[in-house]
Structures are given as structure tokens and as C-alpha cells.
């Protein structure tokens, strides 16, 4: 029955691409859900926000998980959705209803209607999702596999490592251990840029950058901070420059980088990889790490890694919604 896992990247409202990908992988609609005769899907989270079919992008994975044909971990967008709708001991929303926060969640909130029964049902399901899955030979997390952070989160989490009300409060309290741990596991480690800044894909000026934590050779800001090619980098005098400086990444970041000796293969999403012309860049990172987010909601394919027990991952096992 169980021949392996099909680990599916960030859906972000792309329900049509999800159904196409499932169909391409031999899943079929049975009893109002998608099933494969001998495989199980695993979603890396980030079902919602941005894309056109918010409710279907939740309903399809939810039905699959409830039917046992899929597993799923929570992404930062689901964490944010829960945090926007729950309150701390003072009665304040765990995630403030600032213009920017609401804008980031607007597409989902428009579709789900904040405070409605349907909205609460979706959030209740998100709350059941673990923050990571160790499936024996393959690991799945939304952004970063980092065991010290997982231990911190695990102390406040439910038995299956899903969120509890207390953990949602703590993980939104800036400066708390759970806040830092959730940042790393769900959003990926970010390093300060020493006065440098850049304008990101949404036009926000950022003074910290996402670290390529999976790459043991990336030891400097220049090589270890993930920036898209079309983003502009500014030096401390706010002048545009070619790239970030070659100064070393902070020690705490380098300690997150996996060592060569303990590397169970890990699949994750979150990082907006792109496939390039003719799918030339449709590939895993290395034999121990695969990002399955290829920017489906920005015109890329939705991608899955089809894992069948191998200890060395291969790009040959990537399957796309585009066929
Ligand atoms: Mn994400």
C-alpha cells in the first residue's frame, strides 16, 4: 500500500495546478477526495494567500488529510492566519491588524470572510497541522529543519507538534524563545545586512535577508543571503550596489547549516525557487535537500518530489503540474 510520499510545494491558492499535479502523479478523485492506490501526498504548507482559488486550495488538501491520502505541515501563511484571529491574555490579536499585516492576508480573508463559521473551520484545521514531519528517511518542514528550534517549539506544542493557543501567543511575542524558533522553522533564518538593504518582490524595503541555510559553503552575506535577481541592493549610504558585502554570516546562522555528517534528506518549500527557461532550473538543491516551491502562484509550475525510500535525492523525482 505505502510505496512512498509525494511532497508537494506551496499551493498559495493555485487549486487548478494542484489538481493537475495530482492527476499527473496518478491520484484520482474517489469519494470526493484525491487518492493514490499506494502513495501518500505530503504538503509543505502555504496553502493560502496570493492566488486565485483560496478556498479550494484549502479544501482539497484538507479532504485528503482527513481521508488519510495526505499529510501536511503548517506554513508561515497559515500561522499568520491563525495569529490574526486569536488573542493574547490582554485580548489583543496575536498578530496585529496593521495595514501591512492585513494586506498580506487580504486575498484569503476576502475569500474566507473573517470571523465566519467557514473561516473558523479552516483555522481549526490549520491548528491541527504539525510544524514538521520526520517520516523516517525523509523529513518535511515548511522553511528550515533546525532541531534546537524544534525542541523549543515542541515544549509548547501539541503531541503531534501542532500549535496550541499558548504557543501561538508565545510565538508572536517578539524576543521570546518561541518567537525566534518559529521564525526559523516556519519562515527560515534571516540575517541582518549590516546597514545594507534591498527592495523585495512586494516593494518592501528589508534590512534582513533569508539565509540559504541548506548550503554549508555559503558563509558570507554575499553568498548566503537569498535575493532574487531583479531586486535592488542598497549600501549603507542608500546607493544601489551590485551585491551584498563578503562579510561573514553571524555564527548563530552558520550553526543552523547542516553538517556533512548528519543529513537525513529534507524537503521544504517557502523559498520561491524558479525553473528558468525550458525548466532548466527545475532541480533539487543537492542529494540531501530539495526545495519544492517553484513559485506556482507567480507563473511557475506546482512541483512535487516523489520519494520512494532513496537516501540520495535526485532531480529525476521532481514532477510538475505542467506535465
Ligand atoms: Mn512560506
Give the count of domains, the chain. Answer: 1
Model pLDDT for residues 16-55, shown as the tens digit of each residue: 999 999 999 999 999 999 999 999 999 999 999 999 999 9
Comparing CA positions, the residue from 78, 57, 76, 73 lying closest to residue 11 is 57
Residue located via cell numbers 473558523: 120
What is the predicted pLDDT for the residue at 203? 80
In a domain, 251, yes or no: no
> 237 CA to middle of ligand 1, Å?
31
In a domain, 44, yes or no: yes
Mean of pLDDT values over 70-87: 98
> 261 CA to middle of ligand 1, Å?
28
- Interior angle at CA 48, CA 14 and CA 280, nearest 5: 45
Q: Which stretch of 18-32, 228-242, 252-266 has the lowest confidence by average pLDDT?
A: 252-266
In a domain, 313, yes or no: yes
Mean of pLDDT values over 278-304: 95
In a domain, 236, yes or no: no
> 296 CA to middle of ligand 1, Å?
12
Instruction: Tell me how far apart the alpha carbons of residues 20 and 302 are, in angstroms, rounded to a whole number.
Output: 9
In a domain, 210, yes or no: no
- Do 228 and 218 meet the contact criterion of CB atoms below 8 Å apart? no
Q: Which stretch of 70-79, 161-170, 219-228 has the lowest confidence by average pLDDT?
A: 219-228
Model pLDDT for residues 112-142, shown as the tens digit of each residue: 999 999 999 999 999 999 999 999 999 999 9
Instruction: Tell me how far apart the alpha carbons of residues 198 and 196 are, in angstroms, rounded to a whole number.
Output: 7
> 186 CA to middle of ligand 1, Å?
7
CATH code, domain with 119: 3.60.21.10
- pLDDT(1) > 60: no
What is the predicted pLDDT for the residue at 261? 65
> 198 CA to middle of ligand 1, Å?
19
- pLDDT(260) > 70: no
> 263 CA to middle of ligand 1, Å?
22
> 1 CA to middle of ligand 1, Å?
31
> 271 CA to middle of ligand 1, Å?
7
Q: In the predicted model, what is the mean pLDDT of the chain?
A: 94
Range of the domain at 293: 5-187+264-320
> 31 CA to middle of ligand 1, Å?
31
Residue located via cell numbers 482559488: 53
> 81 CA to middle of ligand 1, Å?
12
> 204 CA to middle of ligand 1, Å?
16
Mean of pLDDT values over 98-121: 96
Mean of pLDDT values over 65-80: 98
Amino acid at each position: 500500500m505505502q510505496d512512498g510520499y509525494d511532497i508537494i510545494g506551496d499551493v498559495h491558492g493555485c487549486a487548478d495546478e494542484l489538481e493537475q499535479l495530482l492527476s499527473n502523479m496518478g491520484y484520482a478523485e474517489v469519494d470526493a477526495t484525491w487518492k493514490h492506490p499506494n502513495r501518500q501526498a505530503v504538503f509543505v504548507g502555504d496553502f493560502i494567500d496570493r492566488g486565485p482559488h483560496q478556498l479550494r486550495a484549502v479544501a482539497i488538501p484538507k479532504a485528503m488529510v482527513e481521508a488519510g491520502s495526505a499529510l501536511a505541515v503548517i506554513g508561515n501563511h497559515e500561522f499568520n492566519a491563525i495569529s490574526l484571529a486569536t488573542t493574547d491574555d490582554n485580548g489583543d490579536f496575536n498578530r496585529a491588524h496593521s495595514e501591512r499585516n492585513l494586506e498580506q492576508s487580504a486575498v484569503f480573508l476576502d475569500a474566507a470572510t473573517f470571523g465566519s463559521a467557514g473561516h473558523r473551520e479552516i483555522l481549526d484545521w490549520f491548528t491541527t497541522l504539525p510544524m514538521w514531519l520526520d517520516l523516517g528517511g525523509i523529513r518535511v518542514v515548511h522553511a528550515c529543519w533546525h532541531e534546537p528550534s524544534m525542541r523549543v517549539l515542541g515544549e509548547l506544542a501539541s503531541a503531534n507538534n501542532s500549535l496550541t493557543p499558548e504557543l501561538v501567543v508565545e510565538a508572536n511575542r517578539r524576543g521570546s524563545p518561541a518567537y525566534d524558533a518559529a521564525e526559523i522553522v516556519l519562515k527560515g533564518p534571516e540575517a541582518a545586512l549590516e546597514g545594507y538593504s534591498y527592495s523585495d518582490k512586494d516593494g518592501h524595503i528589508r534590512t534582513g535577508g533569508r539565509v540559504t541555510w541548506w548550503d554549508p559553503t555559503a558563509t558570507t552575506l554575499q553568498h548566503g543571503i537569498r535575493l532574487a535577481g531583479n531586486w535592488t541592493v542598497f549600501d549603507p549610504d542608500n546607493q544601489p550596489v551590485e551585491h551584498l558585502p563578503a562579510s561573514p554570516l553571524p555564527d548563530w546562522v552558520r550553526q543552523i547549516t547542516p553538517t556533512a555528517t548528519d543529513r537525513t534528506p529534507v524537503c521544504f518549500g517557502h523559498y520561491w525557487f524558479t525553473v528558468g527557461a525550458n525548466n532548466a532550473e527545475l532541480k533539487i538543491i543537492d542529494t540531501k535537500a530539495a526545495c519544492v516551491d517553484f513559485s506556482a502562484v507567480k507563473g511557475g509550475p506546482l512541483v512535487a518530489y516523489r520519494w520512494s525510500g532513496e537516501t540520495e535525492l535526485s532531480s529525476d523525482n521532481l514532477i510538475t503540474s505542467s506535465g
